[in-house]
Structure 1
Amino acid sequence: MDFVFYDLETTGISPEFDQPLQFAAIWTDKNFVEKDRVNIRCRLAPHILPSPQALVVTRVTPDQLIDPSLPSLFEFSQQVAEFTERWAPAIWVGYNTMKFDEEVLRQTFYQNLSPNIYATQFNGNTRFDILPAVYAAYVRHPGLLVWPTDDTGRRSFKLDRLAPANGFNAHNAHDALGDVEATIHIARLIATRSPALWSELIDNAHKARVQAKLESFRPYELVTRFGGGEPRSYVGCFCGYSHGNSAQAAFFDLDAADPSEFLGASDEAIFAAVDATPKIIRGVSKNKAPALLEHTAPSAEHLHRATIIANAPEFRQRVSAAMAARFVEDPDAPPKPVEQQIYGEFYSNANKQLLQEFQHATWPRRQEIVANLSDPRLRQLGRRLVAFYSPELLTEEETALFKAYLRDKWSAPDVPETEWMTFEKAEAALGELRSAGAAEPRELEAIGSFLKPIRSAIH
C-alpha cells in the first residue's frame, strides 16, 4: 500500500482554535519511492489571531499571512481534501500526527464544511504515526537508531534532533516539507534495519487487524510513553470497549494486577483501575495505529490472567462502563464553542449532500445552502464562512453581530476556558519573546504592527 507522508505548520498549538498555514506531502510507494509531492500555503482566516511564538518558530512573516496570491483557508481545505482522494488508497503518515496534525486536518475540514472530516480514513485511506514506531524501535531494538539527548541530557525523540543524529543533515526544521523529508528518512531506516518490526507496526494501521489481535485475548505488548519518561512496553490483554466508543479499547496490564481480584470489585475500584495513575487498565485507540506487538514468549501467569479476562464478559462490561464514565459531560455546563462540538454527532445524508454542493457553489448559493442545513453546528460554521469570504451578502445586523463576535473572541479574559489566541495573550507572548531574546527585535515589531490595525478595526 502507498504512503502519504505529510506535515502541517500552524498558527499555534490548538487544533480547534488555530489553523494550518502550510501543508506539505510526499506520496510514495511501499518502498518509499516518491510518486508525487505538494507544498501549499494559505492566508490567515479572518477570525484567527496567530501565536507570536508560532510565527517566530515557523518564520512566517505577517506579509505572508495576508499574501493575496495565496489561497484562503477555505480554498486550502478544498485542495487538501482533493489530495486525500487523488492519492487514495494510501496510509497517511506523519511524525506525532495522531495527537496534532490529524486533529488539525479534521478541524480544517469541519470548519470549512467539507462533507467528510475523516478524509484520511475513507476511500481506502488509513493512518499511521512514525513517533510510536520510533518508541517501538527504542524498546525492541535499542541499537537500531542513534538516540540523541536534549540540552538537559535527557533522551530526545523530537524529529529535529532524531533525524540529524541518524544521518539526515538537510533537515529544515519547522518547515512542513523539511519535516516530511526527515520523517521519510526515519521511516526508511526502521523499515530497512528491522523489516519484521516495520511490517508488524504497519499492520496496525488497519483497525480491523488491531481489533482481531485484541479480541484474540492473547497477551500483547503495548509500547507507549508517558510524559518525559522513556518509552516502555506493557504486557496486557484486551478487556472490552468503552461504551459508546468502539474505537477505544481497554487494555489490562497483566503485570500490574491479577484480574481475578477485580471480578467482584466495586465500581469505584474498577473506575480507579481505569482512571488512577499508574493505570492498571489503559485505553488503546484501535484506529490510531497503536504500537501493539506480538508477545513472543508469554509466561504461564500471563496466559492464565488473560484467560480469566476472556472468560469474564460481565467484568469486561463493567470496564467498558468505567472507561465511558471518565468522559461524562456535565449537563449543566455552558455550551461548548462550535469548534469543540466536532464529534457531537455524525452528519445526516441530507446534510452531506448539501455540504457537497456547498463546496462548488457561488457564495450567494452557499448562503442559501447554509439556511437549509438541519445541523446547528453546520449552520453556525456556514454563516461564519459567508461572513469571512463574502461579507457583502450580510445585512447590517449580521455585519454588526460578526464584528461583535470578533471583538468578544479576541478580547476574552485569559482564563482556562479561553483556549484561543487573544490580544492580551499575544501582547504577553511578544513581551516574553523580547525578554528572552528569542527573536530579532524587528521581527517582533513587525508582528506587533500587524496586530494593531486588526484590534482597531473591531473597536
Structure 2
Amino acid sequence: MGFVFFDTETTGLRQGFDQIVHFAAIRTDNDLNEVGRFEARSRLLPHVVPHPAALLTNGLPIGRLNDDGLPSHYDMVRAIRRTLLDWSPSVFVGYNSIRFDEEMLRHALFQTLHPAFLTSSHGNCRADALGLVMAASALSPPCLSVPIGPEGRPVFRLDQLAPANAVAHDKAHDAMADVVATLGLCRCVQERAPELWQRFVRFSKKATVGDFVDAEDGFVLTEFFSNQACHTPVVCLGPDPQQPNGRLCLRLDIAHAELASMPDEELQSYLSAKPSPIRRLRINAAPTLTALFDAPEQMLNGCDINELEVRAQSIKEDVAFCSRMIASYVAAREPRSPSVHVEERIYDGFPGPDDENRMASFHTASRQDALAIAQQFNDDRLRIFGLRLIYMRDRSVLPSEIRLAAERDLTDRLVDVAAGGFTLHQALQETENLVDGDEADIDGILSGYRDYLMERIERVTAFRAANFAAEEGGTE
C-alpha cells in the first residue's frame, strides 16, 4: 500500500478562511523507501489576509505570495488532487496533520468544488506522526531523544525534535523540509521500535480501530495535552449517536457504582464537567490505543490490570448502564447551530448525487456552462463557492448583479470582522505589534507587509465607496 508523507504551509491557522500556499509530499513503499516527490505553490487569494506571524514563520514576503508567476489557488489544488489520486491507495501521514494539515486540505478541496475527504476515501488511510513520536517517548523512551524545554517539559516541535535525533531539517517550516524531517523520524521509530510502528500503521485503518475498541473489554487510550501524554484505561460504551465515526469510552479508574446511582440531572452535570469521565475518540483519526495486556504499569494509573479487566467486562455486559451513560452525556452537550459563514460549513452534510455530478462537470465545462452549473447547485455552499471560483477565473462571465454581489462578499472579508476572516485592519494591528515588540523583522518581511496593508486598505476603501451605495460602519 505504501505511504504518503505530506505537509502544508499556510497563511494562518484559521481553517476555512486561511489558505494553503505551499504543499509538499513524498511517496514511499511499505519499507519507507522514497519512490516519488511532489511540490506545489500558489499565489494569494484576493480575499485572504495572511497573518504576519505566518509570513515570518514561513519566511515568505508578501510580494512572493502575490507573484503572478505562481499558479492560482484553484490550479494548485487541482494539481495536488491529481497527484494524490495517482498515489492512492496509501497511508497519509503528516506531523500534527489530522488536526491541521488534513483540515486545510479538506477545506481547499471543498472550496474548489472537489470531494473533500480524499485522504479517507479511495482506499486511503491516515495517521499522525506527532502522536507516534509522543507515544514512542512514553512507551519506548530509548527510541527517540526528546528535547526538554525551559519549564522541564518535553518538546515535540518538529524543528527541535528532528535535529535532536540526527534527522535532517535544514529549513524548518518549508513544506518539503518538514516532510523530509517527518519521514526521518518515522524511520527512527520503525527501526528502533518496530512493534510500536506496526501498531501505528495498524490503527491508521478506520475499520481496524472500530473492531478493536468494540471487541476489547478494556484498553488504554493515550491523549496528548500540552506535549504531555495522558494514559487512561477505558472501556467503550458504544458509538456516539451524533458522530458516525465517534466512540464514547468510560474511564475504568473511577467509581462506577456511584454513576449508576446518580439521578439523571446530577449524572448529566457530572459527565459534562471538565475533565469528563467519558472520553471521546474517532475511529477515523488514528487514535493511540494499547491493549490492557500490552500496557506497562505506568499507563494504568496505579490500577491492577486484573481488576480493570473485570470492571471493563462487567460494564460492557450491562447494556442498560452503557445506554444510560451515552444518553446522559449526549443530552448534556451544547446544541450546535450552523455557522453563518459558508467557510465553516464543510461538515454540514455531504453533497447529493446530482450535485456531485455537477461538481465533476464544473471543472471541464466552458466558462458559460460553468456559470450555469454553479447556479444549478442544490447545495447553497457549492453555489457560493462555484460563483466565487468563476469570479476568480473570469469575472466578465458573470452578470453585473452577480459580479457586484461577489465583490461585496469578498471585500467584506477584507474589512468586516463579522464576515469571519482575518481583516486588513486586524493584520495591520498585528504587524504593528510585532514591529514594536521584540520580533526580528527578518528580510524586511514585516515592514514590507505593513506597507502592503496600508496601500491595500486605501484601495479597498476607495473601491467600496465607488461601487456600493453606502460605506459599512464598525468594520475594524
TM-score, reference length from structure 1: 0.93
Q: SS state of the match for residue 45, structure 2?
A: coil
C-alpha distance in structure 2 between counterparts of 1:109 and 1:327, whole Å = 30
Instruction: Please tell me whether residue 179 in structure 1 is matched to residue 208 in structure 2.
Output: no
C-alpha distance in structure 2 between counterparts of 1:397 and 1:244, whole Å = 40
**How do residues 8-23 of structure 1 correspond to structure 2 at under 5 angstroms?**
8-23=8-23
C-alpha distance in structure 2 between counterparts of 1:27 and 1:441, whole Å = 33
CA contact (8 A) 1:27 1:87 kept: yes
Distance of aligned partners of 1:441 and 1:159 in 2 relative to their CA distance in 1, 3 Å threshold: closer
Instruction: Please tell me whether residue 89 in structure 1 is matched to residue 89 in structure 2.
Output: yes
Q: What is the identity, as a one-letter code, of the residue corresponding to 1:423?
A: L
Coordinate RMSD, CA, aligned:
1.9
Q: Deviations over 1:230-249 (max 9, x none)?
A: 21311111112211212111
**How do residues 336-347 of structure 1 correspond to structure 2 at under 5 angstroms?**
336-347=340-351
C-alpha distance in structure 2 between counterparts of 1:43 and 1:271, whole Å = 49
Residue segments in structure 1 that go unaligned for 5+ positions in a row: none
Q: What is the identity, as a one-letter code, of the residue corresponding to 2:387?
A: R
Residue matched to 2:260: 263
C-alpha distance in structure 1 between counterparts of 2:37 and 2:332, whole Å = 42
Q: Deviations over 1:96-116 (max 9, x none)?
A: 0011001101100111111x1
**How do residues 17-416 of structure 1 correspond to structure 2 at under 5 angstroms?**
17-114=17-114, 116-226=115-225, 228=226, 230-255=228-253, 257-296=254-293, 299-325=305-331, 328-329=334-335, 335-413=339-417
Q: What is the deviation of 1:171?
A: 3.2
Q: SS state of the match for residue 244, structure 2?
A: strand
Residue matched to 1:428: 429
The structure carrying a bigger helix percent of its residues is 2
Q: What is the identity, as a one-letter code, of the residue corresponding to 1:241?
A: P
C-alpha distance in structure 2 between counterparts of 1:83 and 1:169, whole Å = 25
C-alpha distance in structure 1 between counterparts of 2:389 and 2:326, whole Å = 39
Distance of aligned partners of 1:351 and 1:324 in 2 relative to their CA distance in 1, 3 Å threshold: farther
Q: What is the identity, as a one-letter code, of the residue corresponding to 1:119?
A: L
Q: What is the identity, as a one-letter code, of the residue corresponding to 2:422?
A: M
Q: SS state of the match for residue 170, structure 2?
A: coil
C-alpha distance in structure 2 between counterparts of 1:237 and 1:428, whole Å = 49
CA contact (8 A) 1:251 1:281 kept: yes
Q: What is the deviation of 1:347?
A: 1.2
Q: SS state of the match for residue 235, structure 1?
A: strand
Q: What is the deviation of 1:425?
A: 1.3
C-alpha distance in structure 1 between counterparts of 2:265 and 2:352, whole Å = 38
Moved more, 286-295 or 162-171: 162-171
Aligned residue pairs, count: 451
C-alpha distance in structure 2 between counterparts of 1:187 and 1:311, whole Å = 39
Residue matched to 2:468: none
Q: SS state of the match for residue 458, structure 1?
A: helix
Moved more, 365-374 or 5-14: 365-374
C-alpha distance in structure 2 between counterparts of 1:287 and 1:360, whole Å = 32
Residue matched to 1:451: 453
C-alpha distance in structure 1 between counterparts of 2:181 and 2:159, whole Å = 8
Q: What is the deviation of 1:323?
A: 4.6
C-alpha distance in structure 1 between counterparts of 2:60 and 2:389, whole Å = 24
Q: SS state of the match for residue 211, structure 1?
A: helix
Q: What is the identity, as a one-letter code, of the residue corresponding to 1:428?
A: Q
Q: Deviations over 1:179-217 (max 9, x none)?
A: 000000111111110111111121111111111111114
Residue segments in structure 2 that go unaligned for 5+ positions in a row: 295-303, 462-476
CA contact (8 A) 1:238 1:251 kept: yes
CA contact (8 A) 2:292 2:305 kept: no
Q: What is the deviation of 1:121?
A: 0.9
Q: SS state of the match for residue 92, structure 1?
A: strand
CA contact (8 A) 1:164 1:171 kept: no
Distance of aligned partners of 1:305 and 1:330 in 2 relative to their CA distance in 1, 3 Å threshold: same
Q: What is the identity, as a one-letter code, of the residue corresponding to 1:281?
A: I
CA contact (8 A) 1:139 1:223 kept: no
Q: SS state of the match for residue 100, structure 1?
A: helix
Question: Once the two structures are aligned, what percentage of the paired residues are identical?
Answer: 30
C-alpha distance in structure 1 between counterparts of 2:429 and 2:343, whole Å = 25
Distance of aligned partners of 1:458 and 1:336 in 2 relative to their CA distance in 1, 3 Å threshold: same
C-alpha distance in structure 2 between counterparts of 1:419 and 1:98, whole Å = 23
Q: What is the deviation of 1:355?
A: 0.2
C-alpha distance in structure 1 between counterparts of 2:10 and 2:40, whole Å = 13
Distance of aligned partners of 1:170 and 1:340 in 2 relative to their CA distance in 1, 3 Å threshold: closer
